[in-house]
Amino acid sequence: MPWYSEYSSAGDLLWSAQFGVIGENYNEAYRILRFNWTGEPTWSPSMSLIQSSSSSIISIYVSWNGDTRTERWELLGASDSSGSDAVSLYNQSRTGFETTITFNTAVNSYGYYAVRALSADHTHLGVTEFTTSSQNGAVGRGGRRSLALMVLGIVIGLWAI
């Protein structure tokens, strides 16, 4: 049975999916179980930070693939990459797979930034690495290649919907 569907109590199709290719050697499944689950990734959240040399505004793109518990993102600022003197700068609700945080560094300027994931009860779930904002168009966690892959992933995700 390589296809699955779910119907409402009124008989309307809610969703349908195909698993594998229909043919001589197709995949089979005896049953499909559907239930609520909690995603708790063992890796840290990811962020990309972009600051223009002509503006004091930074844009931070943060996501945590596999996580289902994050409700809010907390922006942290620090004077060095260790984050030992980190202070909370801003707190924003999660807005889907990727959240964009826009911050004016003219108000509170720090050399390094990170983002911390918070649950509904404000438990700290994970934190990104501290990334410098001193470069024109600086991007954290892997440079421009990470940003390109993140954007590509979002485009593919939107296309799949």
Domain boundaries, the chain: 1-35, 46-160
Look up tokens 């720090």; give the residue. 110
CA distance 59 to 48: 8
* Cα–Cα distance for residue pair 108/14, rounded to 1 Å: 48
Q: What is the pLDDT of residue 81?
A: 92
Q: Which is more confidently placed, 24 or 55?
A: 55
Q: Cα–Cα distance between 94 and 152 in angstroms, integer?
A: 20
pLDDT of residue 106: 79
pLDDT above 90 for 148: no
Q: Mean pLDDT over all residues of the chain? A: 83
Distance CA 13, CA 142 (A): 42
Q: Which of 67, 25, 58, 69 has its CA nearest to residue 131?
A: 58
45-84 per-position pLDDT tens digit: 999 998 877 788 889 999 999 999 999 999 999 999 999 9
Q: What is the pLDDT of residue 25?
A: 66
What's the pLDDT at 43?
95
Ranges of H-type helices in the chain: 143-160
Fold designation for 46-160: Immunoglobulin-like (2.60.40)
Model confidence at 132, in pLDDT bands (50, 70, 90)?
A: confident
In eight-state DSSP terms, residue 55 is: -
At 136 the pLDDT is: 41
- Select the more confidently predicted residue: 24 or 91: 91
Q: Indicate whether 150 pLDDT > 80.
A: no
